[in-house]
Structure 1
């Protein structure tokens, strides 16, 4: 049952969205070839195909029949356009927590940028120094 379903779905696809449906016009090709063969007994299959598919098609008495032959005119029945929907993209940056460390301050004196203030002070009196 699965095989039959697969074949049916394949045929529906082939005849619905490709030019395989043109093969259904094959009996018209045979009938038209027989008509040309009756008109001219020297017509070969190759000359018939060359006349109808390779040479320029003149607008003659059987022009409408010529245009009904397979692969003469495009039959746009169904046009499929595959649409690919990409999976949603999630961007994230992992948060890396660094371990918290306590640092011991070794130099607790005057910062280097404050040294000129300490060195360059006005002179003090001797009594201020003794007290």
Structure 2
């Protein structure tokens, strides 16, 4: 019983809030195709679809019947519709800045002054 109720509620929701209720109009599509075939026996189903869906909208004497075909118009309006517009994010990565390597050579003539005050020194004779 729970499964049946779940399927029923899901079906009602899908038919009410999506365009799936347009599938219930498929018998109108077949009937309209048969009317076109009676007028032009050489018409195929692909030509019929091309005329009614892929071509420009042409107002003829059977325009009311054309509007009853499935997926001709979108008439499902949802109450809680949210439209999110995403702008593409662009970012640039700057190349790394090269720091010039400067090496100091300490020899006896260019000895730093603070070495005499250094904690770790060799033992001295007093």
> Does TM-score exceed 0.5, indicating one fold?
yes
Interval containing the TM-score (normalised by the shorter chain): 0.5 to 0.7
Aligned to 1:114: none
- Gap change, CA 1:73 and 1:82, over 3 Å in 2: closer
Deviation per residue, 1:37-83 (Å, 9 max, x gap): 0000010000000100000121111111101100001122x514279
Judging by fraction of residues, say which structure has more helix.
1
Q: Which runs of 5+ in 2 are unaligned?
A: 83-126
Q: Which runs of 5+ in 1 are unaligned?
A: 84-131
Matches within 5 A, 1:99-110: none
TM-score, normalising length: structure 1: 0.59
| CA-atom RMSD in angstroms | 1.6
* Regions of 4+ moved over 3 Å: none
TM-score, normalising length: structure 2: 0.61
Q: Separation in 2 of the partners of 1:74 and 1:22?
A: 9
Residues matched between the structures, number: 82
- Gap change, CA 1:71 and 1:82, over 3 Å in 2: closer
